[in-house]
Structure 1
């Protein structure tokens, strides 16, 4: 029996839920759209959407289930919520940075964070950085943190050099 995730992030879009689901599943290996539901005439006085337009698109990326909802223009994404993509190599960082950053806001890029073309915030993080920062009181961790703070896209080799001193 398949594992059913008990907590599923729901991303609120105006009208781009299915487009976003296709975009994200095209970036992450093995990503897939699992279900699309549509508005009907039922409740139209509340939702105001034309019958047959996409209500939700459920999708999976890296084993994580998400729901994309076409809820209308009332809410926008902000940096208070972001998704961390833990990377094993610089090649992975470079790939996710380029793909997720495509069409996004270059001014919102700092310390491994970026905003994609839908306004969703992502953190593209080398897993090794988590290890470097474990002992926050060590001079090595402090050097790595200072190096990270000066970067947009994270550079594993530069972080390792800073950590080593």
Structure 2
């Protein structure tokens, strides 16, 4: 089944560079198609207009639309990680040249926001035991990169080692 919704990411001039960076970070990723501006404009003929790419099987389009629009935290992409090694990998790769934020959030070098989170975190934050959920939330709010062991220890009320 063809993907019905494809996120489009607006860049000034870095769409192809960003797509190549992202496909280097995620397995099962590739450039699908590159379209260039023609003499019809509005940008110089031959300049990359759009780059269609896949990250872990999810299609995206990057467009070199100009400097009018930039990314904000109002939109982010969440990466669900099974292990601390996965969290560490994505956190390190995507924050390089970017900006680390709180609670598993970061901005990459292009200003795009990502949430690097462990699977199961939502269950801890929504635990039926309100005290366990409170402890997990309090611990998460104090973290930049999420530490799974520390989050679980906090939820369980056990001091982190």
| TM-score scaled by length of structure 1 | 0.92
Q: In the alignment, does 2:68 pair up with 1:70? A: no
CA shift for structure 1 position 135: 3.4
Instruction: Please give the secondary structure, in 1, of the residue aligned with 2:87.
Output: helix
**Range with bigger deviation, 124-133 or 90-99:** 124-133
Instruction: Please give the secondary structure, in 1, of the residue aligned with 2:73.
Output: coil
In the alignment, which residue of structure 2 is the partner of 1:53?
47
| TM-score scaled by length of structure 2 | 0.94
CA shift for structure 1 position 105: 2.0
Runs of 5+ unmatched residues, structure 1: none
Deviations 1:100-158 (A, max 9, x none): 0000024xx11100000000000000012122123376211111011000000000000
Instruction: Please give the secondary structure, in 1, of the residue aligned with 2:132.
Output: helix
Give the 4+ runs in structure 1 shifted more than 6 A: none
**CA RMSD, 1 decimal:** 1.1
The structure-2 alpha-carbon separation of the partners of 1:50 and 1:86, relative to structure 1 and needing over 3 Å to count, comes to: same
Runs of 5+ unmatched residues, structure 2: none
Instruction: Please give the secondary structure, in 1, of the residue aligned with 2:109.
Output: coil
Q: In the alignment, does 2:148 pair up with 1:156? A: yes
Which of 66, 79, 89 is the aligned partner of 1:85?
79
In the alignment, which residue of structure 2 is the partner of 1:145?
137
